[in-house]
Structure formats: C-alpha cells, structure tokens
Amino acid sequence: MGLTTAKSAAEKRLPIREVSPVELLGANDTNLKLIENHLEVALYVRGDELIVRGDESKLALVENIIGEMIAVLNRKKFIDKDDVLTIIRLSQSGKSTLGEAGLDSVVLFTRSEVIKPRTPGQERYFSAATAHDMVFGLGPAGTGKTYMAVAFAISALKNREVKKIILTRPAVEAGERLGFLPGDLREKVDPYLAPLYDALFDMMPHDKVRILMDQKTIEIVPLAYMRGRTLDHAFIILDEAQNTTPMQMKMFLTRMGVNSKIIITGDPTQIDLPKHEESGLLQAVRILKEVDGIAFVEFDEGDIVRHKLVRRIIKAYDQPKES
C-alpha cells in the first residue's frame, strides 16, 4: 500500500470498521493496489480507517469505490479482483449507483458488467433461486434461462456456498447417440454444450475457466455421464431439459446431494424427442408441481432479452396457423 505517488496533498479518511479489513484489502492488499494503480492515488490503513491521498478530484471517486466494495462485502460476504475491477470501471464511467438496495438484485460482477435481472421473469427467477434448492426455469429461447443460471452458479462458487459447478444437457438428442461422431468424448459433445461454454467464458476469463475445469471445480458433461453419481456441495444445471426422457430426468433429479442446488431449464415448445416419447421435463413439472421446496418459474415473450426480432419471430410462430 502507499506505493503510488499522490498528485497533491489532499487527504480523506474513510471508516472501514463495518467489514473485515483483510477481506476488504484482499490478499497482499491486492484490492487496494488495484485502486491505486487505476486512480493514481495512495492508500494507507490506520486502525479502522483507510487514508486516501491524491488529487482532490479523485478522492470522492475513491470514497464511492470503497463504499461500493463495503456494500458488496456486506451483501455477498466475499469480494475478489474481478468485483473490484468492475466497481472501478463503473465508478469511473459514472454508472456505479448500486448502493445497498441495488446490490440486492446483483447476481454477479464480471470484468465488463454487473449481471442482474433485466425482466420481470428474470426477477422471479432470481428470487426463486435465492430461496429454493431446486428451480425449474421454463420458457422460450432468449429469456436468459441458461445465462442467468450459470451466473447463479458462478456467484455461489465465488461466495463459497458450493465447492463445484456441474453443467449438463442432453447431447445430440435424448438418446445421446454419439458413437457415429468423429473424435474423442470431448470432441463429440463440445458442439452440443457450446451454450454453456459461451456463458462461462462471458462471465470469467478464459484461462480461469480452463484452470477450474482442469481441477474439476467446473464440469461440463453430457447427461448420460451423470448416472451413478451423488453430487454434494455442488451447483448443478440441467439445460435443454425438454429433450430428456422421463427416465433420464428422474435419474438426474436423484443425483442431488448434501448442500447442493439444482436448476433445470427448458423450452416446452421445442421438444425434439420422437413423437411417441414423453418429455421428462413435462412429466417432472406435472409430478413435482406441489412438492415443497421446488420452485417453478415461467418466462414469456416479454422476458426475451436477445435482438428485438427474436421476440417478433417467436410471436409469429405462436400465432394460430391458417389451414
């Protein structure tokens, strides 16, 4: 701390007694060094105060950043380098107006943005995922079902609520007939798991994702490879669940272990199963609708957050067809 030369003798003292100084400062004072380097100020800790020295025009900005960091710690109990970088960027751009109330809806800080619910359906989804250990997210493409679920999972991992993330979906189709495809297992299934990779890489640096995958802290696997496992202390997401068979769905739901959370996403209008095969998702919704502890969130076209044409296309396809 204090390695950056201040531009002037201006000084401000900020109380930090609300939170653990160790958590606020970061390992080896990493968080404070980020502020020093980005704003060209000097920061010192004296007891339960943080002393800021630098150009007078920077002091209010630093005070806002420290306030946001304390609010994050109070709300989420954990803050890391990516969180701090995002707060700095948003504060510098004049967009950081989170405060305690705004933080209540923040799912995840990334290097480029704050992920939070943007539609009524996403707000219900966030509330359900916060209050329940198992959530079904049902609705059309583009409503953020998968993206938000991955954000929930990364947030839980960062906040040490779980020890691992497992992302799965039926590969190719419900039968998961992969044998005719060239390559090893990863080469066979990666194209069908691409949306899960896309969400991860959008929220975390690529090298960090790869390290966590190598450590098995994050696993992306086809549904067939979930059989026989009991998943403790994990956040588990089943994507494209409308293409599971009833047997696959029951197998998946019974993998849930101690201190685990499960989110199942699917679009009941996009079932690719053979006509004689019932969707495991639809059966599960029917059977589990009244089970205590399970939440069901339904999205509609008003929750679509992709290009505005996506909403129009889905609406057009849902119109009654003329004979």
Structural domains counted in the chain: 2
Residues 23 and 68 in one domain: yes
Residues 124 and 207 in one domain: yes
Question: Which of these three, 73, 104, 135, is where a domain ends?
Answer: 104
pLDDT at position 4 is 44
Q: Domain of 273?
A: 117-318
Helix ranges restricted to H, 234-279: 246-253
CA separation, residue 226 to residues 24, 137, 215, 233, 321 (Å) = 39, 20, 18, 16, 40
pLDDT at position 27 is 82
Residues 180 and 307 in one domain: yes
Q: Which residues of the chain have pLDDT under 70?
A: 1-9, 94-105, 109-112, 171-192, 307-308, 320-323
pLDDT at position 175 is 44
Give the integer Cα–Cα distance in Å for 165 and 194: 16
205: in domain: yes
pLDDT at position 321 is 61
pLDDT at position 174 is 40
Give the integer Cα–Cα distance in Å for 280 and 253: 11
136: in domain: yes
Give the integer Cα–Cα distance in Å for 289 and 116: 27
280: in domain: yes
Q: What DSSP assignment string belongs to 130-156? A: HH-SEEEEE--TTSSHHHHHHHHHHHH
pLDDT at position 59 is 87
- Among residues 202, 221, 218, which one has the least CA distance to residue 210? 218
For residue 167, report the phi and psi dihedrals to the nearest 5 degrees: -115, 130
For residue 296, report the phi and psi dihedrals to the nearest 5 degrees: -120, 125
Q: How many CA atoms lie within 13 A of 210 on its CB side?
A: 3
